[in-house]
A and B are shown apart, each in its own frame.
Chain A
Amino acid sequence: MLELIVISTLNGILFGMLLFLLSSGLTVIFSMMGVLNFAHASFYMLGAFFGYQLSRWIGFWPALVIAPLLVGMIGMAVERYGLRNTHKHGHVAELLLTFGLAFAIEEIVAMIWGRSPMDYRVPAALDFPAFSVFSTNYPAYKIFMLAVSALVFVVLLIVLKRTRVGLVVQAALTHPTMVAHLGHNVGRVFMLVFGVGSALAGLAGVIAGPSLVTQSDMAALLGPILFVVIVFGGLGSLPGAFIASLIIGLVQTFAVALNGSLASMFGPLDPGMGPSVLTDIWNVTIAQIAPILPYLLLVLVLIVRPMGLMGTRET
């Protein structure tokens, strides 16, 4: 039992931190610009594919730097030539633009790299077990992912809360004209913010690619859960996203570890009743529904507290 608890906690934290790495860029963009970027997971996918391609050409470590920059540049282009023109039509139009973008990016990636999974490997320098607990190995690469996520969290917090740049960015959201009068180029600030957010997604892609499956449908598979994280944590709140990621990571891992169902708690139903909704619900195990628990959490949180765990505003 202790073994299961320790290992589940570790796995939960590892997975939660990966989720945070993925959603940090999304929450930065939202908190700064108020844009809910549906294409965020697509930028993450682009990061993974660029990382894969570059690490074949020039190695993993240069790719770790260059691929996020490339993705960031694409993000800036999207902001400059797409979102900026759409801004006047309101947030829904912006959201729909990124929705269409997600469609297009998936297909473009599939066109160039095909639809089969890529052979994207963990770099040799990190391909060893870091430590083992109860004879379960923890690969060094996962620890590396954890470290990067933690670093991103700290750096983002400092930049946003403690530096001049962060203040300008936050002011530009609420008082764009005032900031412009003070001599800052608001358009460029937004472009940079969007670029940084996309680059973070790209970074997550480069790092998560070898550990998950690098494939053209990876964006569609991960996209919804990222929204759960940032909405659950509170739209636009970085610490909220951090906590939400950890909670979701832990909830999912522990749910998998549990075999309990209503049938195992209260005993099986009378078999004479035949199949019905009740027997379905009675026999389903917590492990079976683990991956849909986040959505349940999301709906519950939004009903009880529409601003999310640590959010400050509602829309």
Chain B
Amino acid sequence: MNKLIIAVAAMLPMLGSPVWAQDTVKIGYIDPLSGGGASVGEGGLKTFQYLADELNAKGGILGQKVEIVPLDNKVNPQESLVQAQKAIDAGIHYITQGNGSSVAAALEDFVTKHNTRNPGKEVLYFNYAAVDPALTNEKCSYWHFRWDAGSDVKMEALTNYMKNTPSIKKVYLINQDYSFGQSVRTDARKMLAAKRPDIQIVGDELHPLLKVTDFSPYIAKIKASGADSVVTGNWGQDIALLLKAAADAGLKVNWYTYYAGGAGGPTAIKQANLDHQVFQITEGIPNAGFKPAIDFEKDFRAKVNMSLWYPRAVNEMRMFKAAAEKAKSVDPVKVAAALEDMKFEVLDGGEGFMRKDDHQFFQPIYISSFGSLKADEPFDEEKTGWGWHMVAKVDTAQTIVPTTCKMKRP
């Protein structure tokens, strides 16, 4: 019981009035820092802290120090709203979040309502990883900016690559049964039908999210369908188990994935020995051969002891600084205005822009495969000795998708 008393005593400041200095720009980082998603959340936190240090070393934003405030949401939407409220109480005007479309949808809604009800106390929401297209379409908000490519944007890039790859003839779709998985599936069907009508969709599977322990029946179906390529948005254990089961059954197909590179993915691919059979669609890869990005990656790995999962976080933070300097203020309303239609040179080279219509950032997209490294590819993943090899780079112009967003502007 006494332990409780100590813990309670330690937490008393929570009820007190917030203390915060005017000369720092605080960014509330709302992601899982405990429980199942903690490894991903911790990785993101370290990334953002590294980026804040980088900015601070160059004088911060408009002379103000940048500080990342970690807030644990346990990937629960309700918990995220409580944390966002906490952040706002502490005088934070910028929050960033990435894991979980459900969390993102709740936060986007919350920020929009908060800003309408509390004029003069606006908060901006920077999304670095939640890719549900709804966030920049039917649910879009003026106060939300997304640096990751939406799943439709990535599919646009992937299908533009597939368009020019004649070896792909039969495609199988397998996705998790929730909004993201469904959007992958519908976009793939729609875009492939438009760009490569000769490609056959030989299977279209939805399975419950994170509930399947044995994927061999799914593999049996893929095998029976005669597919040569599989497109999947699976992540976490759903991709690891899927690939393992495929390797066990001796299925030889090419895997086009969104998240094979997520924590644990590279380990699973290496275990399954799928050398250069697993592809990933990302906004940047370490082995792209662009000098500043290589230098950045080297320094990042040396200091943080992990590979850079989120090149988009780099773009987000650097662009935030650029927008604040353009607006000559860290006032969220002015920063938001400055971010609209802003052009920006991304980490891995090439120009991207923040579309005004829906606040989606468009940037070059890379298709890469995971496997044994070539001589000029310095970076491996998760100490497997294998790494990402660039297969194709899709230019920004090739990734533009229309939006249905009807944004309410202040």
On A, residues with C-beta under 8 Å from B are 3-4, 7-8, 11-12, 14-15, 18, 110, 114-117, 119, 121, 129, 132, 135-139, 142, 211-213, 215-217, 220-222, 225, 252-253, 256-257, 285, 287-292
Q: B230-265, CB under 8 A of A: which get 1 and which 0?
A: 000000010011001000111100000000000110
Max chain B Cβ within 10 angstroms of own Cβ: one of A117, A121, A139, A287: A117
CB-CB under 8 A for A257 and B249, given A220-B36, A291-B207: no
Q: CB of B51 within 8 A of chain A? A: no
How many inter-chain residue pairs (CB < 8 Å) link A and B?
104
Contacts of A114 in B (CB 8 A): 39
The answer to whether B212 touches A291, judged by C-beta atoms less than 8 angstroms apart, is yes
Partner of A288, one of B177, B251, B270: B177
Q: Which residue of A lies closest to B40 (CB)?
A: A115
Docked complex Cα distance between A219 and B171 (Å) = 34
What are the residues of chain A within 8 A of B221 when measuring CB–CB? Answer: 4, 256-257
Query: Within 8 Å CB of A212, what residues of B?
Result: 213, 241
Whether the pair A8, B220 counts as a contact (CB closer than 8 A) is yes
Q: Is B211 a contact of A119 with CB atoms below 8 Å? A: no
Known: A136-B250, A137-B248, A257-B221. A119 touches B214 (CB 8 A): no
Q: Does chain A have a CB within 8 A of B216?
A: yes
Chain B residues, Cβ within 8 Å of A216: 36
Complex formed: what's the CA distance from A290 to B39 in Å? 29
Within the complex, the shortest CB–CB distance from B165 to chain A, in Å, comes to 25
B391 at the interface (CB under 8 A from A): no
Cβ distance A211 to chain B, nearest Cβ, rounded Å: 8
Are B208 and A253 closer than 8 Å at their CB atoms? no
The answer to whether B211 and A7 touch across the interface, beta carbons within 8 angstroms, is no
**Closest residue of chain B to A255, judged by CB?**
B217
Secondary structure call for the B interface: helix
Does B346 interact with chain A (Cβ within 8 Å)? no
B residues adjacent to A (C-beta < 8 A): 36, 38-39, 177, 205-208, 210-214, 216-221, 223-224, 237, 240-241, 244, 248-251, 263-264, 267-268, 270-271
| Inter-chain contact B208/A292, CB cutoff 8 Å | yes
Which A residue sits closest to B39, measured CB to CB?
A: A115
Give A57 Cβ to nearest chain B Cβ, in Å: 18
CA distance A113 to B205 in the complex (A): 34
Residues in A with CB closer than 8 Å to B213 are 15, 212, 221-222, 225
A160 → B minimal CB distance (Å): 28
17 CB < 8 A contacts A-B: A7-B217, A11-B216, A116-B267, A117-B264, A129-B250, A137-B250, A139-B248, A142-B248, A212-B213, A252-B217, A253-B216, A256-B217, A257-B221, A290-B207, A291-B207, A291-B211, A291-B212
Q: Please measure, in the bound complex, the distance between the C-alpha atom of A138 and the C-alpha atom of B207, giving whole angstroms.
A: 23
> Contact at B210–A116, with CB atoms within 8 Å?
no
B270, closest chain A residue (CB): A119
Contact partners of A285 in chain B: CB under 8 A: 206
CB closest chain-B residue, reference A141:
B248
Do residues A136 and B220 form an inter-chain contact, with CB atoms below 8 A?
yes
